Amino acid sequence: MKNSIVVVDDDPIIRMDIREMLEEEGYAVAGEAKNGEEAIELVAALKPDLVIMDVKMPVMNGIKASRIIRSLHDTETSVLLLTAYSQKELVQDARSAGVAAYLVKPVSEEDLIPAVEIALSQKERIDSLKKDLEQLKQSIEERKRIEKAKGIVMKTFALDEEEAYRKMRAASMAESIPLIKLADGILKDGPQRWFGS
């Protein structure tokens, strides 16, 4: 099975048609909803890769629901909107709500599947960028801690920057631990525990 998808439309026949088209292509339809409120609840519970959602629905429309779904911090769900209209205003609203793509009804399989692929590839790209950003943040954070520990070593042993760094690298190799672990140890226990007095 491919990515998990939630289908949202107030018309059960349209939901059934979309479900069949998706399942024929090997996608897993994780759930269905008939309005925006139900869609938000389902996304929060299931964390699907994609929501295919109608714009005009009772209780809460698709654009408002998209805004809320895109603002949920614990999910990276992509949204594909379905609409009977292709007015400029709607396109602007959809874009500002963070929608990945939209399709004008009636939806055919020839239109749906490529739109689903595009929406999912955007999600993958965003996921990858977020992962890279997290790694970069972690790397910067580690660098700061290493620099702080190096400052302590410089001060404690009256060394210049390069000597302190060499001393830390030698201790890290001798202890068979990553430099960041050594730095954290120096910050926690002081340098004497790692280098003697």
pLDDT, averaged in runs of 10, over the chain (197 residues): 84 93 92 91 90 86 85 77 75 74 82 88 80 91 94 93 93 92 92 78
Cis amide leading into 48 (omega within 30): no
Residue 86: predicted pLDDT: 66
Same domain, 70 and 16: yes
Residue 197: predicted pLDDT: 52
Q: Is 49 helix (H, G, I), strand (E, B) or coil?
A: coil
173: domain range?
A: 134-195
**For residue 128, is it within any domain?**
no
Same domain, 87 and 152: no
State which of 58, 90, 107 marks the end of a domain.
Answer: 107
The total of structural domains in the chain comes to: 2
Residue 73: predicted pLDDT: 62
Residue 185: predicted pLDDT: 92
Residue 164: predicted pLDDT: 93
Measure the CA–CA gap between 38 and 183, rounded to whole angstroms: 49
- The dihedral over CA atoms of 42, 99, 119, 25, expressed in degrees to the nearest 10, equals 50
